[in-house]
């Protein structure tokens, strides 16, 4: 398995437009807003050097981001590593004894294939593995 880079940092927010302004004020530019139905979120990506900041707002009360905010408040929600081959990465991490939230890749924003590792196995950090071109 090969990790290519820190793909992005995911930040859970209550109001995407309002928080976007903070990153705009920092001089970053959004690539636009995308709704990912499957994950009940709308997201905005802000490219920053070789990585990106991802803001996530829940589109449903029972969505994972809504639940995260209820428990932890707004803030950093996950860290995403870009891998060369996500199927291989999932298999390898499982073999090493890590619990995967996603045993098979699913689709995330921008058509990326993603899989989350369980934060209990990674000392509290929700790790997203992502493969995109
Ligand atoms: Zn993400």
Nearest 5°: the CA angle 131, 104, 112 is 25
Read off the pLDDT band of 57 (50, 70, 90).
very high
Reply yes or no on whether the pLDDT at 133 is more than 90. no
| pLDDT tens readout for residues 6-19 | 999 999 999 999 99
pTM exceeds 0.85, yes or no: yes
| Cα of 128 from ligand 1 centre, angstroms | 6
| Integer CA distances (angstroms), 42 to 5, 74, 89, in order | 24, 15, 26
| Cα of 67 from ligand 1 centre, angstroms | 16
Question: Domains in the chain and their CATH numbers?
Answer: 3-131 (3.10.180.10)
Give the SS3 label for residue 95.
helix
| Cα of 108 from ligand 1 centre, angstroms | 7
| Cα of 2 from ligand 1 centre, angstroms | 18
| Cα of 123 from ligand 1 centre, angstroms | 18
């Amino acid at each position: 398995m090969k990790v290519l880079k820190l793909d992005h940092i995911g930040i859970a927010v209550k109001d995407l437009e309002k928080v976007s302004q903070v990153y705009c004020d920092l001089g970053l530019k959004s690539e636009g807003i995308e709704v990912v139905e499957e994950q009940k979120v709308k997201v905005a990506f802000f490219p920053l050097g070789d990585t990106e900041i991802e803001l996530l707002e829940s589109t449903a009360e029972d969505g994972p981001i809504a639940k995260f905010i209820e428990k932890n408040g707004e803030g950093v929600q996950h860290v995403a590593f870009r891998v060369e081959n996500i199927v291989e990465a999932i298999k390898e991490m499982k073999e090493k004894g890590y619990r995967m939230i996603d045993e098979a890749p699913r689709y995330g924003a921008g058509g990326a294939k993603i899989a989350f590792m369980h934060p209990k196995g990674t000392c509290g950090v929700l790790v997203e593995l992502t493969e995109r071109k």
